[in-house]
Structure 1
């Protein structure tokens, strides 16, 4: 404290000395009055003394202020160090958050890119050919050109995808314009089966690209029509779907009818069918004749005393009755066999032609097969193997004629077997009755001859 005081006194003395020198220099320079100089010096000394006294009186306050300033400085230093540590920690946290933000931003960018890609794939996959877009727009919005997606856009995409997913498992009844087979367009009740198919009460439907209405499939099979009608009437919950969404339905619509398949056989098929029908008519006519003659023969066997000429047995016995009975037994037997043989052509009539047609039909089918293969190879030679439809005509002719030949031959073989069995049975009955009649006649002659000898 004394050292400080001495320093202050020295400073004050030096200041006074400088002031005096300045004053004296001014006095000598300007020749001011001595009294003014003296008064000024006294005033300065008084002022300096007053300041020195006041300064010495406030020494304790200065010391307290100095201590307070030092404490404030120390507190400020500690606060500065704490703030520096907090700043360092916050900088590290900011760096970590920045890295995490970059990582999450990359993941979010990839997620949004996948969402946009899936949305585009769904739109392109469904397009205008989807059964889900028949009545209202349910496709997800396009996100290709969106750099930053808003929440509303994401919600629209999610809602659209959820709606599509729900509609794939729903059966809905709609009233939509439908074009029938004649081209007339009218509102119809349509049942939509998710994203698989749609149909009316009697026909399957197909979509026309770029057209605002549906169209009936050119040909719906009868068994499918019955299923569709029963479903529309509420009598059945069974319905049909096309899991391939088009190819199977197209194949069903192009499936030829029975008449179209018959026409695929060509001229060879026509010949086979004509011969088959002719053979069946001959077989049916002859079989009816044999059945009628069998009934008449049965009635004739029950009344041999009243012979009728409307059956083979009656005619044979009438001829035997008209014969000369005095002939030898061998001659009578020969005459009787002749009468039986005369009836066989009528009984076996038609069997040779039926048998012939049964043998010819498969050969004609083979001929049609060869002809169809020739047509197929000609198409391959001209057009190559690029388009199978160009070869389908020849292959169809080859297969259809083979089928027609077999279908014709099998019934004809059964008919020929039935005719042969029926005619053989009738012939055996006639021969048996004729032999019995001859035996009775010979026994009667033997009895008469023995009686006359006795």
Structure 2
């Protein structure tokens, strides 16, 4: 008997999950796309794990600085090099980059939080179908009951899977955002030290 068990295929699960699986699928694609895009953005910036020696060299010779860090260094040293001017330029850099990242993180948080709620909606719809089948006296009651229970369980499971993986993605995105913010403050301090020594 145990050898006769075959796990259901993807189409079978999709069919038994009901109509709520469509918005759950779209939500999963949305979360996956935005988490991937933000992690790729942070991976492409050379604003992490660089040595202070490298940054100090770039601050002394901004024309040799590369990548996004180089753009920030060149912008921070353009024009007047007083401490006030450097602080204002770094404030402008933080104001240009961090709020957009924060908005996307909030949007991702809302999407991740919506996943188990959509799963719960599928549970309610599946249980309604189950109770409707219990109330009927026709011959196919057991088939409708099992379909309703399947819909209730599958959507809950899918919603929780999306939420758990989304929370992990959101955690890594927040961590990278915090590292980027710390990088900007650290680079500002190094630039201010350079300006005071000049």
Matched, 1:319 2:75: yes
Counterpart check, 1:278 vs 2:34:
no
**How far off its partner does 1:295 sit?**
6.2
Distance in 2, matches of 1:249 and 1:443, equals 78
SS of 2:45's equivalent in the other structure is helix
Aligned equivalent of 1:233: none
For the pair shown, which has the larger CA radius of gyration, 1 or 2?
A: 1
Asked if 2 retains the 8 angstrom alpha-carbon contact of 1:283 and 1:350, the reply is no
User: Match for 1:432 among 177, 181, 186?
Assistant: 186
Give the Cα separation in 2 of the matches to 1:340 and 1:317.
13
- Say which structure is richer in helix: 2
Partner deviation per Cα, 1:231-283 (whole Å, 9 max, x = no partner): xxxxxxxxxxx3xxxxx677x36x53233112211221121122112211211
Query: Where does residue 95 of structure 2 map in the other structure?
Result: 341
Query: Quick one: distance in 2 between partners of 1:374 and 1:399?
Result: 13
Compute the TM-score of the two structures, normalised by the length of structure 1. Answer: 0.38
**Structure 1 residue 308 displacement after superposition:** 4.6
Superposed counterparts of 1:235-250, under 5 Å: 242=1
- The CA distance in 2 between the partners of 1:429 and 1:332, in whole Å, is 15
Q: Partners of 1:427 and 1:409 in 2: how far apart?
A: 26
TM-score norm. by structure 2 comes to 0.82
Does the CA contact (< 8 Å) of 2:101 and 2:177 recur in 1?
A: yes
In structure 2, the CA distance between the partners of 1:349 and 1:308, relative to structure 1 (3 Å rule), is farther
Aligned partner of 1:257 among 9, 15, 18: 9
- C-alpha RMSD of the superposition: 2.8
What is the Cα deviation at residue 379 of structure 1? 1.3
Counterparts in 2 of 1:382 and 1:249: CA distance versus 1, 3 Å: farther
Select 1:359's aligned residue among 113, 117, 137: 113
**1:372 touches 1:396 (CA, 8 Å); kept in 2?**
yes
After TM superposition, give the deviation of residue 296 of structure 1 in Å.
Answer: 8.0
Q: 2: CA distance between counterparts of 1:374 and 1:382?
A: 13
* Contact map agreement 1:290 1:347 (CA 8 A) in 2: no
Checking the alignment, whether the CA contact within 8 Å between 1:340 and 1:430 is kept in structure 2 is yes
**Aligned pair 1:289/2:41, yes or no?**
yes
Any stretches of 5+ residues in structure 2 without a counterpart? none
Distance 1:325 1:392, change over 3 A: same
Unaligned runs of 5+ in 1: 1-241, 243-247, 445-454
> Whose RCO is larger (CA < 8 A, sep 6+)?
2
Cα 1:266–1:426 change in 2 (3 A) is same
Structure 2 CA distance for aligned equivalents of residues 372 and 339 of structure 1: 50
**3-state SS, counterpart of residue 8 of structure 2:** coil
**In structure 1, C-alpha distance between the alignment counterparts of 2:48 and 2:87, rounded to whole Å:** 24
Structure 1 contact 369–397 (Cα < 8 Å) conserved: yes
